[in-house]
Amino acid sequence: MPPIADIAGIAGVQVRTGVERATLVRRTYGLVFVGVIATMLGVTIGMTQPGVMQLVAGSPFLSFLLAVMLPMFLAQVLRHRFPLNIGVTLLSTLMTGLWLSPLIYVMNQTQPGVVTQAGLLTLTTFGVLSLYAAFSRRDFSAWGGFFMVGLWVLVATSLLNLFFRNETASLWLAGASVLVFGGLLVFDTWRILRTNTYGPDDYVPAAVAIYLDLLNLFLAILRLLGGKRS
């Protein structure tokens, strides 16, 4: 499964005070948390509605475009139109859960417990890397370009591997994905906490960036755990 590219936009209005920064951080991570809950709800709906899950599984690429990428794109376009921006973002994360439901179902049936383990490892990784970005005094500005190049290399290589279906290459790609999205998570967290990339009302694109990092980390860790067990 190719990684999901980061499509978060860049804001033009800058954070000027500590209060604005705190508001941006609170709203961003609040939206990420609610988005994760919406994704879990989407997975649950998909797994309890076999017809919906079969529809998604029957056309994964089309469902990915319609259920994931289109709503996320709209969330960026409408990022300043409250509350429409919140609604579209949550709809996108809910639809992402529906898109993930066939994968989660298969993993639960073939390798019980691996999804829970992947979720716990993702949560732990997210916490450690976020704390590192928050408390480190390093300048992570160079990480953005480096890991974005790595992301597009991953996307291209993953698409090629869809044709060759090499299991060893899939595991290597999963490991590289953990590295790339771990780096992007640190970079995106640093941008929110330490730079003026986002304005005080740009919590939607900020949340989408963190959410995509988190989602791709989970998928990569799940692929690693599942591949090792198989």
Q: Report pLDDT digits (tens) over 129-184.
A: 999 998 988 888 888 888 888 888 887 887 776 677 767 777 888 888 899 999 99
- So what's the pLDDT on residue 15? 58
Total number of domains constituting the chain: 1
8: in domain: no
**Is residue 83, in this structure, part of any structural domain at all?**
yes
- CB-based contacts of 64, cutoff 8 Å, min separation 6: 99
* Burial of 95 (C-beta count, 10 Å sphere; 0-12/13-18/19+): buried
pLDDT averages per 10-residue partition of the chain, 230 residues:
54 63 90 95 90 78 68 68 83 88 90 92 94 89 84 80 72 86 93 84 88 92 76
Q: Would you say residue 196 lies in a domain?
A: yes
Residue 211 lies in a domain: yes
Q: Does 6 reside within a domain? A: no
11 inside domain: no
Residue 216 inside a domain? The answer is yes
Give the structural domain span for 88. Answer: 18-229
What is the predicted pLDDT for the residue at 10?
Answer: 47
The model's pTM: 0.84
**Number of CB atoms found within 10 A of residue 68's CB:** 21
The confidence score (pLDDT) of residue 175 equals: 86
Please indicate, yes or no, if residue 2 is contained in any of the structural domains.
Answer: no
Q: Give the model's pLDDT for residue 16.
A: 56
